[in-house]
Amino acid sequence: MTIKAVTFDFWDTIVDDNSDEAIRSAQGLRSKRDERRHLVWAALNSVQETDLQQVVQAYDVADAAFNVVWKENHINWTVDQRIRVILNGLGRTLPDNLLAKLIEDTGQMEVNIPPNVIDGIGDALADLATRYRLCIVSDAIVTPGTGLRQILDDYGLKKYFSSFAYSDEVGHSKPHRSMFDFVANELGIQVDELVHIGDRDKNDVKGPHAIGAKAVLFTATRPDDRDITTADAICDHHRDLPAIIDRLAAKG
């Protein structure tokens, strides 16, 4: 089949995951992990004196449960769901206004201080957009899809994308086929007319391959799977990506 669309993972493909931690540290801010726990504690403590360590423990347990559901069932809890699991674990509730602010503040952390874009992505997208429809297919993790769109927009990259499949909005995470079906349906094409770019062999290569799509492993920031991948091609820098996609398209 002819390649009509190129889908991109977000983390470690468009942005350098956790590169924002150095920025936070330079500004004297807590790490994202610590700040998320502190936000929950501060909200609860404003209502009733609360032990920080109990909040940390409850958050850690909720994170462990999230990872099981994510990796085994391919479902990402929304920020709202994650916060409610933590509160349930503590046997606590929050007034609606405080809960809404906590959810908003948690989901906005990576929007307010975003991770860095990976070198060459802007030029690659501008080039590819002249020949293919471009889409995002990515797990949301903590920052919701609305926030990830904002990050792309703030970097001037959102304009290149025709469709967005974020796990908190689709209802499943990669490698579940519904993530790829979503953008294919929006574009009116077949899934085997897609090629996906991402950094994880299990999610970004095996997932597309299972539904007949092609896949490129991106290794610039996370080369961990380079030696085990079954990808149709490997990309070490975004400057090489347009030519890689064109070669795959030429093969049909």
The architecture CATH gives domain 5-19+115-251: 3-Layer(aba) Sandwich (3.40)
Q: Which residue has the tokens 């001037």?
A: 156
pLDDT at 1: 66
Amino acid 165 reads A
Single out the residue of 9, 49, 1 nearest to residue 134, CA to CA: 9
Single out the residue of 226, 222, 235 nearest to residue 19, CA to CA: 222
Tens of pLDDT along the chain (252 residues) come to 699 999 999 999 999 999 999 999 999 999 999 999 999 999 999 999 999 999 999 999 999 999 999 999 999 999 999 999 999 999 999 999 999 999 999 999 999 999 999 999 999 999 999 999 999 999 999 999 999 999 999 999 999 999 999 999 999 999 999 999 999 999 999 999 999 999 999 999 999 999 999 999 999 999 999 999 999 999 999 999 999 999 999 987
Question: How far apart are the C-alpha atoms of 157 and 211, rounded to whole Å?
Answer: 28
Please report, in angstroms and rounded to a whole number, the separation of the first and last CA atoms in the chain.
Answer: 5
Strand-pair partners of 218: 235
**Dihedral sign from CA coordinates of 130, 212, 137, 225:** negative
Question: How far apart are the C-alpha atoms of 70 and 67, rounded to whole Å?
Answer: 5
Domain spans, the chain: 5-19+115-251, 20-112
pLDDT at 252: 74
